[in-house]
Amino acid sequence: MDIPEQVAEKLRTCELPPLSDLTQKIIHMTQDMYADPSDIAKLVKMDMSLSASVLKLANSVAFGYSGKVSSVVEAINRVGVSKMRDMVLSLSLVQQFKELEGIDFAQFWKHSLAVALASEAIERHSTGKKMNKDHTYSAGLLHKIGIVLLAQNFPEEYQKVLHEVEKDEKDLWELEKEILGVSHNEASHYVFDNWQFPQEVSHAALYYNDPVYAPDALKEIIYTVHIANFACLNQGISVGIDRFPESFFDDAWEYMKLHVSEIPEILEEVHDLADQASAIVKAAK
């Protein structure tokens, strides 16, 4: 991966709006599958906005839930500890990224959340080994965060990218390489490695749209996000500046032990998951 030194230097020191200490504590606690829901609820209730958003989602028709949930403890018992972790991470990120010239964040997060949820759905359909499932949601959620990193840290140059992508037939990553010398895939991977993110997350961001060079040990999660991204774009769920890919890596489908007969079901499921993604974006407002 060849990144111009001046770009690499800026990416080395760049920051995303940090997750609050409270959010980090909640995520850490929910990593323990045996955590007491009442202890998690006490932390969630310390943030009134987060608590209200969690209750909205726990009562959301989009998630297929019925019946009234009136407490955070009930919400955790309903959705489960691991799903609560995903909800808290998603809500916190969506709340922090709301405004950047040329990027519709409602659309950006709807796509990112849909890919995260679709990645989990594809994992459920797969009969493979499922070695990296702990990172599936995060890998899908963060696969395009490099767009934000570049747009935030190189605003003038990225406005040129956005201008060109409207009139050029080249893919977004190609225009980023031409104008900035680095694609959003490479930016994500570089920064995630610098922040010591799990390899599953950083490599999924690097290879999700071109998994031919995916490392053997990480093929499963990279192929999962590749299929999920393709499926979401097929259903018109994009970030608004990306194009429908011209090709699909067939080996990903075969590696995940998915059958062609499952395509209609998966696409229908992805369409429904878009409603869940929209519900998360609305709950975070």
Q: Tokens 């969506």, residue?
A: 94
Q: How confident is the model at residue 246 (pLDDT cuts 50, 70, 90)?
A: low
Mean pLDDT of 16-36: 81
Taking residue 20's Cβ as centre, other Cβ atoms within 10 Å add up to 15
CA-wise closest residue to 103 among 53, 144, 139 = 144
Are 43 and 29 contacting, i.e. CB atoms less than 8 angstroms apart? yes
Mean pLDDT of 16-35: 81
In sequence order, which residues have a C-beta less than 8 Å from that of residue 49 and are 6 or more positions away?
A: 95
Most confident option among 221-225, 232-236, 255-259: 221-225
Task: Give the pLDDT of residue 145.
Answer: 92
169 burial via Cβ count (<10 Å: 0-12, 13-18, 19+): exposed
**Residue 163 token pair:** 């201008």
Taking residue 11's Cβ as centre, other Cβ atoms within 10 Å add up to 21
Mean pLDDT of 117-132: 81
- Pick 179 or 4 by higher pLDDT: 179
DSSP H or E run through 194: helix 184-194
Q: Return d(Cα 96, Cα 231) in angstroms, integer.
A: 27
Check whether 16 has a pLDDT greater than 70: no
Dump pLDDT digits (tens) for 266-282.
888 898 889 999 999 99
Per-chain mean pLDDT for the chain: 87
Q: What domains can be seen in the chain, in order of their start residue?
A: 19-96 (no CATH), 100-285 (1.10.3210.10)
Are 26 and 76 contacting, i.e. CB atoms less than 8 angstroms apart? no
Percent of the chain with pLDDT over 70: 94
CA-wise closest residue to 283 among 13, 67, 63 = 63
Check whether 243 has a pLDDT greater than 90: no
